[in-house]
Amino acid sequence: MTTVSTHPMFDWNLTADGVVVLTMNDADNTANTVNDRFRNDFSAVLDRLEAERDTVTGVILTSGKSTFFAGADLSEFAGLGPDAIAQVAAMLDTLKVHLRRLETLGRPVVAALNGAALGGGYELALACHYRVAVDDPTALVGLPESKLGVLPGAGGTVRTVRMFGMQKALEEILLPGTRFTPNEALAVGLVDEVVDEPDELIVAAARWIAAHPEPKQPWDEPGARIPGGAPGEPRTTRLLTMLPARLMARTRGASDAAAEAILATVVEGARVDFATAQTIESRHCAALIASPASSNIIAVTFFEPREIRRATRRPADLQPFRARLALVIGSNSVAAEIAHACAEVGIDTTITAADFGAADSVAATVRAQLSQGSGQVRACDIDNCGPAVDVVIESVFDDAKERRRQLASACSRLQSGTLILSNSSALPISELADVVPEPENMVGMHFFTPVDRMTLLEAIESDRTSAEALAKAIDFGGQLGKRSVVMGDRPGFFTTRILHAYLDEALTMLAGGTPAPSIERAAQHAGYLIGPLALADHLSFSVLARIDGEMTDFTSTSPTVIATTLGRMNAEFHRTGRAGGRGFYEYEQDRRTGLWAGLAQAFGTGREIPHLPELQDRLLVRQALAALQAREELVARSDAEANVASVFGVGFPSWTGGCLRFADQYDGGLPGFVQRCGLLAEAHGDRFTPPASLIERAGRHLVRG
């Protein structure tokens, strides 16, 4: 292969067979994105390909980065409003012109996916005639835009519908926003070939080019039709009548602007020719990008995590920490999930507990669930744990005294410098640190469940935690594939306070006569990932009662409605949550079958259907108030950490951008939020009364206005 020339964004290499290998490599960024440099250089490269087409036998598009292409440069969309819709649509239309030039070049074009191709990165690959990927489970492929509150805007909806038909494109790719591994993508049809090693990519791509000198995209073939039929054809009538109902079921009745726009884009685009469908897609995508909900989701998903990473303090001379040996203390389901997470990334893991038999049983269960190549898992007696471990993770769900006892026993023989983490959800880390040999090496590390699905960790820095220990804890979280937010060591921490407010308000509704189905429906319509009663079942009543007790101990308040309601459920009705097979919901083989029919009689709920928006506001405002209070007490050190933790740790609706942003963006801004708090306090009690500091802040907003 001989290098002919280099464009700023593209390396142009011409092989002896006349194949141009274009390697995308943005020198100023860690990933290739659609920015001004890409747009300008892509246009110039296409000009050259068209000018030299007679000497070119094919094109291979690949990347010099660890990922193939990261899609849009989201910073270009920060702060956009409705007045930017036309501007964004024009930007998308221009990009589509370039992609169309690539696929109609008259020469075979192959995307050699050396890494992840998500969103706009995969749309770039879709404009190629063939897609070959490397067998790397981290090299994900797909169109996940729906999870960001937008839709694919560079031809993704138009091309997938013409490749797979409306139903498959919608239900398997666009609406769920699934990220596929290369082999999963091959099975779905998103890639055409998977090779074992990266150095086989170019060889496979060149082989396909040699065998297909004059390919066309399916939609450019004469008489091309949409698989399964287009709207207006008799065979699609049933599908089109079912799609809105299926969307309603997918969103559980909640408003989902992105899903609704994707459905509209697909159906409208399938009625018209390819070019018009592209224009329709641009208009719908631009409207979503300029919407507040999309801006909020993008901010809390990308910009604020980046802000958190930049602000993280790390000793300059500290090398990256990677654990090889871990000790997990606890025999409950969460301890098992933590042990599983450690072993899955190759860490040899020992499980210990006060009851060796229980620890051994957990170890056996974890071993049975592990995939090939995982770390080893065994159990040990708590008084005879070896000293040579890199990290200890305590996850004992007993009372504080028992937690300290087990932690002291397991850590008594540790070698100096061992990182000690506590999966405490409320107990101050500074108090737990009293029983370990080196308190400066102890960090709170709150795991959210299910551990294998939750991507966030809440790290708790006490006044005794060293900067080195905190940095190592964050590194360890990264080793498990999770990002961390750092919170202060105050009673209840941050996420537990927000979770507590959610459950307390829901159970207050129930105890006050609000029908349970209305409570769950209100939460679902507001955009919560899980209704509060289902969440209470999942966490188990005993765990919630313990957390509630710890919270009330620290705040010196009387028992909350959580304690009284769960106490009744247990004592009177023998219902303890999902683990016991009976809670607010009924269960069969660990699957929810519906709310318990006895709830109405047990809590005297009425038949009158309450106003759902009022219930939604009660849940949202109550949590936002708890977050604002925690921020004022410096439990959360920054707005960014508070917003990220509320969405990704507790499940606060992502369209809000987080608890603090919800308050700031309430109708009327912060003054409107304070006014709404006052109205809710009059109707439902002092728990909604805004603190004086918040009233003062709102007053300053009014003065500036």
Instruction: Give the catalytic positions in this structure.
Output: 72, 120, 123, 145
Measured in degrees and rounded to the nearest 5, phi and psi for residue 457 equal -125, 145
Asked whether 152 and 174 are in contact (CB, 8 A), the reply is yes
Quick one: which of 698, 530, 526, 508 has its CA closest to 614? Answer: 526
Residue 450 CA: distances (Å) to CA of 358, 360, 508, 535: 21, 21, 26, 12
| CA–CA separation, 367 and 106 (whole Å) | 54
Tokens of 499: 């979770």
**H-type alpha helices, 273-351:** 274-289, 292-298, 304-311, 333-344
Q: Who's near 522: CB < 8 A, 6+ residues apart? A: 612, 615, 616, 619
**Side chain identity, residue 574:** H
Q: Who's near 401: CB < 8 A, 6+ residues apart? A: none
Asked whether 602 and 572 are in contact (CB, 8 A), the reply is yes
| CA–CA separation, 519 and 131 (whole Å) | 47
Half-sphere exposure of 345 (CA within 13 A, CB side): 19
Q: Which helix (H) or strand (E) holds 595?
A: strand 591-595
> Quick one: CA torsion of 510, 513, 518, 519, rounded to 10 degrees?
-20
Q: What is the CA radius of gyration of the chain?
A: 28
| CA–CA separation, 228 and 171 (whole Å) | 14
Asked whether 68 and 115 are in contact (CB, 8 A), the reply is yes
Tokens of 159: 């091309």
For tokens 């080019």, name the residue. 209
Quick one: which of 150, 345, 178 has its CA closest to 260? Answer: 150
CB neighbourhood size of 381 (10 A): 14
Q: Bin 142: left if φ > 0, else alpha if -120 < ψ < 50, else beta.
A: left
Start-to-end CA distance of the chain, whole Å, equals 64
Asked whether 349 and 328 are in contact (CB, 8 A), the reply is yes
Tokens of 206: 């060149």
Sheet architecture: strand order including 117-118 = 117-118, 141-142, 179-180
CB neighbourhood size of 317 (10 A): 6
Quick one: which of 399, 396, 398, 400 has its CA closest to 421? Answer: 396
Asked whether 624 and 463 are in contact (CB, 8 A), the reply is no
For tokens 């207006």, name the residue. 232
Asked whether 78 and 283 are in contact (CB, 8 A), the reply is no
| CA–CA separation, 263 and 269 (whole Å) | 10
Tokens of 312: 């993280």
